């Protein structure tokens, strides 16, 4: 028997950062994101030799150990271990023996939610294997708890829900971990044009988002009014983006992205850099009407909205900086699992 699962990565179109506690607890957060056809994959193969084999193909890391109820969190494939520990604690109560193989189509720290999507994917595989009675909200909440509570990794809430639900979603975040996912019915012609006009560019660098996120959390805790106001504007951007997407006002997408990016840079230091600013300005001169760094900022992927046929001149300009263009389409499906 072989159990497989996959979940899509996401682009955060608006509101990024407002899903991070304590801001979302005090003021409420709002995010608009869309999943794309880049995926995290997980395969579970049950064993009968009381061994656990964990293998990350893209990171080229492998661990072989005895099957126990709890695996030590020691810096080696901790995401995979953390998920196993929680699954055994909450649902199995006895050790499991299996081989778990994972692969993600984007590097860690790239800003597409790769780590959280991987956690969601692995949980989906365990749900399929053990026939666990978990719905979409349950899986996303469990993925969040593993990362943010058990492993104490700083971050927001949007990635786990995007990977689980899939599609274009307007998400609301409140105190006590309350999350409401509102799927948006976007016309196919609007999604196709949005995909055609969006250029996804990998800067060639990854970054540790936790430092930037912890700065955002500290700003709220210390009541730094300028940074909190920037977060308010970011939340407003999500509402503007939702209206533009639903109405099909594609000419508004670029300016709304630019509005968000200018405010996002005020949320914490390190979100932008001299190189990122130079790349952004060059893309705007080449015909883009707005863009942003995907995720918390600091590196990874950037994306730009390029109306008409300006995508070609923007791509030509971006390639002069030594990065890579990543082609994609929007994905309507979220977490999927199956058994062979």
Task: Tell me, yes or no, if 277 is annotated catalytic.
Answer: no
Query: 302: which strand partners?
Result: 201, 293
How many other C-beta atoms lie within 10 A of the C-beta of residue 47? 14
Distances in whole angstroms, Cα of residue 310 to Cα of each of 98, 125, 160, 197, 256:
50, 41, 33, 8, 18
Question: Which long-range contacts link 216-222 to residues 24+ away (Cβ below 8 Å)?
Answer: 216/17, 216/20, 216/23, 216/267, 216/268, 217/20, 217/21, 217/22, 217/23, 217/154, 219/267, 219/268, 220/22, 220/23, 220/26, 221/22
Residue 82 tokens, joined: 């953390």
List the one residue out of 150, 138, 139 whose CA is nearest residue 89: 150
Residue 257 contacts residue 297 (beta carbons within 8 Å): no
- By CB atoms closer than 10 A (0-12, 13-18, 19+), residue 44 is buried
State the catalytic residue, choosing from 74, 78, 159, 249.
159
Give me the active site residues, please: 159
């Amino acid at each position: 028997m072989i159990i497989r699962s996959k979940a899509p990565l996401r682009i955060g179109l608006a509101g990024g950062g407002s899903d991070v506690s304590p801001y979302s607890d005090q003021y409420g957060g709002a995010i608009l994101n869309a999943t794309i056809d880049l995926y995290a994959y997980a395969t579970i193969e049950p064993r009968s030799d009381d061994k656990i084999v964990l293998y990350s193909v893209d990171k080229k890391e492998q661990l072989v150990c005895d099957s126990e109820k709890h695996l030590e969190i020691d810096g080696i494939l901790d995401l995979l271990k953390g998920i196993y520990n929680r699954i055994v604690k909450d649902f199995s109560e006895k050790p499991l023996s299996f081989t778990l193989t994972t692969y993600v189509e984007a590097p860690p720290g790239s800003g597409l939610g790769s780590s959280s999507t991987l956690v969601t994917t692995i949980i989906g595989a365990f749900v399929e294997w053990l026939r666990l009675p978990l719905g979409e909200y349950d899986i996303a909440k469990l993925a969040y708890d593993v990362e943010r509570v058990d492993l104490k990794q700083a971050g927001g809430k949007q990635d786990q829900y995007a990977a689980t639900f899939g599609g274009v979603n307007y998400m609301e975040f409140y105190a006590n971990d309350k999350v409401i996912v509102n799927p948006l019915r976007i016309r196919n012609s609007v999604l196709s044009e949005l995909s055609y006009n969006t250029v996804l560019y990998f800067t060639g660098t990854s970054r540790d988002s936790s430092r930037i996120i912890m700065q955002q959390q500290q700003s709220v805790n210390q009541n730094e009014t300028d940074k909190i106001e920037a977060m308010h504007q970011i939340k407003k951007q999500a509402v503007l983006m939702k209206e533009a997407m639903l109405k099909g006002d594609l000419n508004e997408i670029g300016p709304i992205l630019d509005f968000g990016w200018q405010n996002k840079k005020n949320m914490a230091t390190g979100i932008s850099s001299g190189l990122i600013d130079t790349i952004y300005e060059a893309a705007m001169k080449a015909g883009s009407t707005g863009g942003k760094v995907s995720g918390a900022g600091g590196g990874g992927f950037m994306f730009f909205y390029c109306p008409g046929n300006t995508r070609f001149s923007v791509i030509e300009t971006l390639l002069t900086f030594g990065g890579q263009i990543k082609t994609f389409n929007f994905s309507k499906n979220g977490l999927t699992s199956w058994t062979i």
